[in-house]
Chains A and B, each alone.
Chain A
Amino acid sequence: MLHLYDQIQEAVAKIRSVWDKAPHAGIILGTGLGNFAEKIEVEATLDYGDIPHFPVSTATSHRGRLVFGMLRGVPVMVMEGRFHAYEGYPMSQITLPVRVMKAVGAEVMVVSQAVGGMNPQYQPGDVMLIDDHINLLGDNPLVGVNDDRLGPRFPDMSRPYDFDLIDEGQRIARAGDFVVHRGVSVAVLGPCLETRAEYRFLRGIGADVVGMSTVPETIVAVHAGLRVFGMAVVTDMCLPDALEPADVNEIIAVANSAEPKLRALVEGILDHEASKIAVVAPR
């Protein structure tokens, strides 16, 4: 991990050449939030290919650029397009943007992902606020010599997702009159979707939804001391004893249909953060 520090500094230097604010929140857009950035008062953008050490996103329906600007009066840095382990990237590269977020001043990471629903009470199109995760990726972004400048050797994981933000997310959903669940997301490597036996196994070990992302970014965010707000969009139901073949186009369509809910949640969380900033700001 010792090579990361210099990589982070070089990426930050590139960002500083186009944008000089400290983002309060770093936002990672997963499947279905690809058009989200249209709501931002954009002040600068950078294609991943122009940022030192950033990989280039290969996933369907993911763009590949950083957007900097203001959303609900809060400075934000938005990742349009993210990196997955199944694309072949090492964990340190997948999570480099989170390190960069922290280094330019972010305090909160907001992340969304498309998931398969295993809890039978969930419906396609529902949003689950991530309360906790299980890492079954078979890897961890913190493996290697620890760089104490970036975070502790053994980060505590008793509460990786910020409880105050989850509570706020539930309030936002009630006010907006839509359902959110609160549950456990398990991350698997992919890229194949799960077999019926694997869904039974994953449900059996306590997961409500399954996805192929977010856990690496969250581990690094916790290591770096960022508060995390995670949202999982249930794109299809994965009930092992009534499993139908997955249709990737339909998954993307359902994810897109949930965009208004994700938008309400992200904007509500930023309003909540803005109210706290206002309270603590010097007069």
Chain B
Amino acid sequence: MSDPASADGSAAIDAVADRIRAAIGDRRPRVGVVLGSGLGGLADRLENVVALPYADLPGFPRSTAAGHAGRFVVGALPGVDHPIIAMQGRFHLYEGWNARQAALPVWVMRRLGVECVVVSNAAGGLNPQYRVGDVVAIDDHINFMFRNPLVGPNDESLGPRFPDMSSPYDPRLIAVAHEAARSHGFPLHTGVYVAMLGPTYETRAEYRMTRTLGGDVVGMSTVPEVVAAVHAGMRVFGVSTVTNADPPDALGETTHDEVVEAAASAGEKLRHLVEALVRHVSGAEAP
């Protein structure tokens, strides 16, 4: 394993934020989007973009996952005035990054003035009512990664020592997403996301366990970023795309290719949700 560079501390966050600010000038994104497996296409639709490859950012980790491009993109969705900052490619703990490194981009967004983070992921469906290609508004999560980005000395400039987690996902944003889903005519579930370390897909027994514990979807990301965002006082909207939905007692094989394919097919739905959320947060909702 390559030894990921340490990314702890305010100085590292400031260094990356300064570099981005210098590149984007007076644009002030208020919404940040973390794009998960196969959902990177949303960033390709942005207009007037400034792209910042992670490789150009001081001390920043580099994405190693298939289907992840590895850059920040600042730009505006078509028909929406306000710029957003999108992460094309994120950092997973199974790649060997520590939880603070996985959370670093969120802290950088906060330094840039982002108020709301939209975090997306590809997930396995546990709830038997979900279908492949469905999208799920994350209402809550269970951290089963055995890692937390806030372990270590607390940086009071980022957030409190003991952040409240009674409502990590903003209920108002979930309501906005449901309105958007209804108006565009696709189903949106609301459910609980279970985060596992990975990189192995779940065994049948692990699927049963995560369902028994109250999970609706299971994946290998999102929770480190969300914990960091809540700690930093940001509003969070989380969305999962159901990329496989095998009941544990008839579990088929899971391949990464089918996960990426299913995630791509849900890209349009995600775009509608993000547009509605950007309009809402920017105070410029469409009539």
Binding site for B on A (CB under 8 A): 1-3, 92, 132-135, 138-140, 142-146, 152-158, 160, 184, 186, 204-207, 219, 222-223
Contact = CB atoms under 8 A, between A and B. Distances in A.
Contacts of B206: 134-135, 157
A85 to B, nearest CB: 12
B166 interface: no
A158 B198 contact: no
A218 to B, nearest CB: 10
Interface centre among A3, A138, A152, A206 (most CB of B within 10 A): A206
Nearest to B212: A205
Interface string B246-278: 100001111110010000000000000000000
B203 A154 contact: no
A135 B201 CA distance: 11
Interface in B1-40: 1-2
Interface of B: 1-2, 64-66, 93-96, 146, 197-206, 208-209, 212-213, 246, 251-256, 259
B250 to A, nearest CB: 10
Given A144-B96, A145-B2, A219-B200, A204 B255 contact: no
A140 B212 contact: no
Contact of A157 (B96, B146, B203): B203
A2 B200 contact: no
A154 B196 CA distance: 13
Contacts of B200: 135, 140, 142, 154-155, 157, 219, 222-223
Given A2-B1, A2-B2, A138-B146, A143 B199 contact: yes
Given A158-B252, A206-B212, A143 B201 contact: no
29 contacts: A132-B203, A134-B205, A135-B203, A135-B206, A138-B146, A140-B197, A140-B198, A142-B94, A142-B200, A143-B197, A143-B199, A144-B95, A145-B95, A153-B66, A153-B256, A154-B201, A154-B259, A155-B200, A156-B253, A156-B254, A157-B200, A157-B201, A158-B201, A158-B251, A184-B205, A204-B212, A205-B212, A206-B208, A207-B205
A139 B197 contact: yes
A144 B203 contact: no
B205 A145 contact: no
Contacts of B204: 132, 158
A63 to B, nearest CB: 30
Chain A contact residues: helix, strand, loop or mixed:
loop
A217 to B, nearest CB: 13
A139 B197 CA distance: 7
A156 B209 contact: no
A154 B205 contact: no
A145 B1 contact: yes
Contacts of A153: 65-66, 199, 256
A156 B201 contact: yes
Contacts of A146: 64, 199
Contact of B203 (A140, A160, A205, A223): A160
Residue in B201, B206, B212 with the greatest tally of chain A CB atoms within 10 Å: B206
Contacts of A206: 205, 208-209, 212
B215 to A, nearest CB: 11
A146 B95 CA distance: 8
Nearest to A92: B1
A143 B93 contact: yes
A145 B202 contact: no
B95 A156 contact: no
A133 B203 contact: yes
A48 to B, nearest CB: 23
Nearest to A205: B209
B255 to A, nearest CB: 7
Given A140-B197, A205-B209, A157 B202 contact: yes
Contacts of B1: 1-3, 92, 143-145
A132 B202 CA distance: 11
Given A138-B146, A206-B208, 12 more contacts: A133-B203, A143-B96, A144-B96, A146-B199, A153-B66, A154-B200, A157-B200, A158-B252, A160-B203, A186-B205, A205-B212, A219-B200
Given A132-B204, A207-B205, A145 B64 contact: yes
A132 B205 contact: yes
Contacts of A156: 201, 253-255
B205 A143 contact: no
Contacts of B93: 143
Nearest to B198: A140
A143 B94 contact: yes
A98 to B, nearest CB: 14
